[in-house]
Each structure stands twice: as structure tokens, then as C-alpha cells.
Amino acid sequence: MSMAVLPWHLLDKLNTRMIQQNCWIICIFIILTSFYYTMRIDKQIIDQHNQSLAQKHKRAFDYVSQDIAGIEEIIDKLRKFQIGIPSWALGTGGTRFGRFGGKGEPGTLEQKIEDVGLLHALNASSGTISLHIPWDIPSDPDRIKEHAATFGLGFDAVNSNTFQDQKGQELSYKYGSLHHVDPKVRKQAVDHNIEVIKHGISLGSKAITVWLADGSSFPGQLNFREAFQNTLESLQEIYKHLPEDWKMFIEYKAFEPYFYSTTIGDWGQSLLLANKLGPKAYTLVDLGHHLPNANIEQIVSLLLMEGKLAGFHFNDSKYADDDLTAGAIKPYQLFLIFCELVDGMDARGIDHATGLGWMIDASHNLKDPLVDLLQSVEAIMIAYAQALLVDRDALREAQQNNDIVRAQEILQDTFRTDVRSIVAEARLRDGAALNPVALFNELDIRSKLVEERGSDTVATGL
Ligand code: LRH
Ligand code: MN
């Protein structure tokens, strides 16, 4: 809904004398109704919030930035760094044991775009949406693109889905999709991925993420070599349909939904495929897709070294693919991953903001999905800001001297530096909120979404 559809008829009810006497009330009333109706946060409301926090913020920012050389470059990098929001995680997620649905969820793709628009207005770091097909098919791509553009949003990688059978689907993916023993099933899955690329092209996306549930749950169920070969040949068919400037992100996962083998089960298998496919194929790292205690930062450094790192699905986990808020369980690991990213990207001259796919993939079972996403973005921005602070020359020198104590001191000193005001300063300079979560709650946005959408809308997705 654009600003043009403001409820002018409501104004008639106000008698003219009151208008003359209370133009201030009218202005606030218009702002509130415009916010209320178009799910947009008016700049004045964000400015008022920032004014109320300005002094506290300035004290914190001046204190931490006084000792930081190159603070302006760091803030510039933070401002350019945009994180892709998953269209499938804007509603309440669940597990096989149940789902405790939230209210005011986005029931349409347009409303999902409005929700991401809210996030972006609050933190200026949520500038793209990653769509999942067929959960979020853009029926009218031009109108969807236009709608997203009014919130300053673009479209990140599109995701295919051959891990569920859709209504009316001819052949089942119960025993897999691209690795299936039946070439007809493989063709059906290949055609779906080609369809997804077409949707992405119509939205201006530049990549497709292929995650395959394909695997087995019992020894003897699968011929591993044939499954891998079928997957490779199927991906080669899809690869032929990638436009020149597109990338294919191959997402690996150790287990689930199958519990004996996964055909693309780790970074080695994904990299093997990416190398065999060609220069447009890369390996995507979902932080929750590793066996316990895997050294993800080492995997990241090697994929970057090989020039085959696609990007990320950020989340956090304690046990398995828990899809929790980024940085909620292992913030030090997230920091170490960004240390390898900054070092590896600079070593290859990769632009931090545009060189890789920065996306969240989480499932919000308990917290408000929008608040959870604000917290994930904040944790990612903090890890990136801290990694930018690392004195890499000093670290290199310590490594060259096997000075482990010094190396650890350099990393932990940075990790223990409170950079929240630096991340907030970057937001402030882009007209976003100093404290997005606080403003989200202050404005009671979820209640306004319920007022607008009702309490029974359910978002498509996990
Ligand atoms: C698989 C996965 C994949 C998505 C799905 C929603 O676990 O991480 O990225 O397609 O979640
Ligand atoms: Mn994922």
C-alpha cells in the first residue's frame, strides 16, 4: 500500500475548528495513520527515538572510537554491508513436536516484503530478501520488484525446494531428487530448479541456492557413487541455465531429514561438485549444517583460499541444525569466522559487501520472528565490526613467532571490545534506529501488524 492511500475520509470526521486549533495533533495523527496503514516507520519517529538516546550513544561511541585508527573506513564498511532476510522465516517456525503460531504474520509475499521493509527501516542492514520457491512465488514480478524498491529492498539468492512434494506433483521426492535412481524424478527436479532461476531473473536476483535433502537413513539403501554422479549430472543440466552473471550456491548439510548419509553432506562433497561444475558454482556454508565441534572458520578460510566460498546462511546452534538466532550460542565462533572472512577476502581483493552472499537462515519458534531477525543482524554486524578491528599485522607477526599467547591476546582483546556503538553509529548515519529492538517494542509493531492483518494469518515457510 503506497502513501497515496492514506485514510483521508477519516479526517472529515474531525471538525474544521479542531483542525485550525490542533494542527500538531493532525500531523501526528497523519504520521500514525500512515505508519499504521502502510506498515512503514516514519523517519520522524526514528529521529525522535535517536534523539532520546543521542547522549548515551555519543558517550559510548566517542569512548570506543578514540583508540581506533581508521574508524571512518570501518563505519563505511558496516554501512555497505547488507544481509539477506529469508522469506521463509518471517512467520513462526516449528518442529516435528509442534508449532506455537504467532499473530499478525505476513500472509502474502507483499506483506513479507513489508516486514523486511520494517527491519531495514530499523537497522539499514537488511537490504535484500532471499525467496524460497514455491513457498514465495512472485506472481507479478514487476509489481513485486516495485513494491520491494519502495522499501529500498532488492532480491538475494533464490532457493529451490525439492525436499517436499507439492500438491499435484507427479513424481515424489521421498527417495531424493537430483540423486534419484529414476531419471524422470531427476528431470522433474532439474526442471523445478530451472523454473526457480527464471523467477530469480525476473526479480533481479543473481544466484540460486540448491540445498538437497537427498540422502539415506539405512546402510545399503543407497549406492553412494551413483547418487553423487546423478547429482552432478543433474546440477550440470541446471548449470547450463545460469545467466552469465549468475552463481550457483551448493549448500551442504551433515544430516536431517535423513540420518545415515547425505549426498551433499559436507564442504568437501560440495566443493568437489562446485569444482566439477565450473566457475559459477560455489559452496554455501550454513552454520548449522556441521557435525558437532567442526572448525567452521577453518572451512571458511580454505573455501575462500580456493575462491569457491558462496556465502552464508547465518544462524546458531548448540546441537544440530537448531536454526537459532545468530550469535546466541557461539558468538566467539561467529567472530572467528569473520576474522577468516576479512583476512581471506582482503587477500583475494574481494569486496566485503558484494563479493559473497550474506544471508540469514533461521527458524523462529519462540521469539517474535522480526525481533529475532533484528537480533541476528545485530550479532552479525558486531562480529564483522570486531573482525575489522583485529590488528592483522600484529597477529601475523605473533603467528610467525609461534607466540600463541600474543595471538590469543590480540583476538580476545578485540572480541572483548564493545563495538555496539560503532554498529549503532553506522545505523544512525543511514537514518536507522540506534536501538532497533527497543524501538520495535516501543512502537508495539506486532500489535499493529495484528490490527492490520488479523491474528490468523500464517506465513508460508518452515
Ligand atoms: C536446510 C536449509 C536450507 C533451506 C531450508 C529452509 O536445512 O538450511 O537452506 O532451504 O533450510
Ligand atoms: Mn540453510
Q: What is the pTM of this model?
A: 0.92
In terms of Cβ atoms closer than 10 Å to its own Cβ (0-12, 13-18, 19+), residue 225 is exposed
The 3-state DSSP class for residue 281 equals strand
pLDDT at 1: 44
- For residue 132, the ligand 1 atom closest to its alpha carbon is 10
Amino acid letter for position 363: S
Contact 363, 92 (CB under 8 A): no
User: H or E element: which one contains 247?
Assistant: strand 247-251
- For residue 288, the ligand 1 atom closest to its alpha carbon is 8
CA-closest residue to ligand 1 atom 9? 211
CA-closest residue to ligand 1 atom 6? 462
pLDDT at 5: 46
| Residues at CB less than 6 angstroms from ligand 1 | 88, 159, 211, 251, 253, 286, 313, 321, 361, 462
| Pocket-testing residue among 212, 312, 313, ligand 1, by greatest number of atoms within 8 A of Cβ | 313
Give residues with Cβ within 8 angstroms of 311, minimum separation 6.
157, 249, 282, 284, 285, 356, 357, 358, 359
Per-residue pLDDT in tens (0 to 9) along the chain, 462 residues: 444 444 545 555 555 666 566 666 666 655 555 544 577 899 999 999 999 999 999 999 999 999 999 999 999 999 999 999 999 999 999 999 999 999 999 999 999 999 999 999 999 999 999 999 999 999 999 999 999 999 999 999 999 999 999 999 999 999 999 999 999 999 999 999 999 999 999 999 999 999 999 999 999 999 999 999 999 999 999 999 999 999 999 999 999 999 999 999 999 999 999 999 999 999 999 999 999 999 999 999 999 999 999 999 999 999 999 999 999 999 999 999 999 999 999 999 999 999 999 999 999 999 999 999 999 999 999 999 999 999 999 999 999 999 999 999 999 999 999 999 999 999 999 999 999 999 999 999 999 999 999 999 989 887
Measured from the alpha carbon of residue 210, the closest ligand is 1
pLDDT at 230: 98
pLDDT at 33: 53
Contact 215, 260 (CB under 8 A): yes
| Span from the CA of 321 to the centroid of ligand 1 (angstroms) | 9
- For residue 161, the ligand 1 atom closest to its alpha carbon is 10
- For residue 284, the ligand 1 atom closest to its alpha carbon is 9
Return the DSSP state at 205. -
pLDDT at 461: 82
- For residue 251, the ligand 1 atom closest to its alpha carbon is 9
| Span from the CA of 47 to the centroid of ligand 1 (angstroms) | 37
Return the DSSP state at 240. T
Measured from the alpha carbon of residue 313, the closest ligand is 2
CA distance 187 to 193: 10
| Pocket-testing residue among 133, 251, 289, ligand 1, by greatest number of atoms within 8 A of Cβ | 251
Contact 93, 322 (CB under 8 A): no
| Span from the CA of 207 to the centroid of ligand 2 (angstroms) | 14
| Span from the CA of 417 to the centroid of ligand 1 (angstroms) | 33
CA-closest residue to ligand 1 atom 2? 211
